[in-house]
Amino acid sequence: MNENDIKRLPRLTAILTQLQAKRLLTASELAARFSVSNRTIYRDMKALEQAGIPILTEEGKGYTLMEGYRMPPVMFSESEANALITAEQLVLKNKDASFVKEYTAAIGKIKSVLRSTMKDKANLLSDRVVSGQNTGNYRTSNYLSTLQLALTNFMLVRIKYCSPDSNQSTERTIEPFAIYTTQENWLLIALCRLRNDYRAFRLDRITGLSVLDQTFEPHRITFEEYFDSCEKKCSPPLP
């Protein structure tokens, strides 16, 4: 194995990780990600195929891995593990209980694949990284995980919502569109069928929620287009 091959191996491994993380990637996206030419990416893909990796090429779209193929467990560098541990301390201060629960479970699985020495360092870092936000660790919502699943599976959701203006509660059937956070609190952007328009719902104002056994057509606008329309209206729409 020559010097060029040794330098190439980390990139091939990283390309494979990228392919497993995203359903479809173009040669241009990979070239930009690794600061190489498209031609280099073509050669890398051929090398991966020759190594037995089931890479499929969708004409005019890009590369994807064969359905069901999985890499062996990923090994993290110490810096990568440190970044995840630091993020954990921020998540633990989040006000949505479901988000905290799911991330804690995920970080536990990540810690389980760390080498013993790195695991000790990760646990030390957990004790030495502190976030000053939400010092009481109180939770104001418990719906984020459910809404994430409804959003990605295009499921209708029925909510009971308490308006921040009038404190009156209304029932809405909504189509989840996007989720964003501001200072630890979460807001859901959804098409409200009651208003026949997009609305921003604070998760801490949702007093009841159920996912319906009905789907909706994916929204045609992007998140950026939604915000552009809000700017044109001077302020985000209220429920």
Mean per-residue pLDDT pooled into runs of 10, the chain (239 residues): 58 83 85 90 89 85 82 72 87 91 87 79 83 82 94 96 84 94 82 92 94 94 85 61
Burial pattern 124-139, b for ≥16 Cβ within 10 A else e, equals ebeeeeeeeebeeeee
Q: What's the number of CA atoms in the CB half-sphere (13 Å) around residue 28?
A: 2
* Tokens standing for residue 148: 């994430």
Write the secondary structure of the chain as one string of H (helix), E (strand) and C (coil): CCHHHHHHHHHHHHHHHHHHHCCCECHHHHHHHHCCCHHHHHHHHHHHHHCCCCEEEECCCEEEECCCCCCCCCCCCHHHHHHHHHHHHHHCCCCEHHHHHHHHHHHHHHHHCCCHHHHHHHHHHHHHCCCCCCCCCCCCECCHHHHHHHHHCCEEEEEEEECCCCCCEEEEEEEEEEEEEECCEEEEEEEECCCCEEEEEEHHHEEEEEEEEEECCCCCCCHHHHHHHHHHCCCCCCC
Task: Look at residue 18 in the predicted model and tell me its pLDDT.
Answer: 82
Task: Look at residue 4 in the predicted model and tell me its pLDDT.
Answer: 55
Q: What is this structure's pTM?
A: 0.68
Q: Rounded to whole angstroms, how far apart are CA atoms 208 and 162?
A: 10
Q: Cα–Cα–Cα angle for 85, 87, 91, nearest 5°?
A: 115
Q: What is the largest CA-CA distance in the chain?
A: 71
In DSSP terms, 159 is beta-bridged to 172, 209
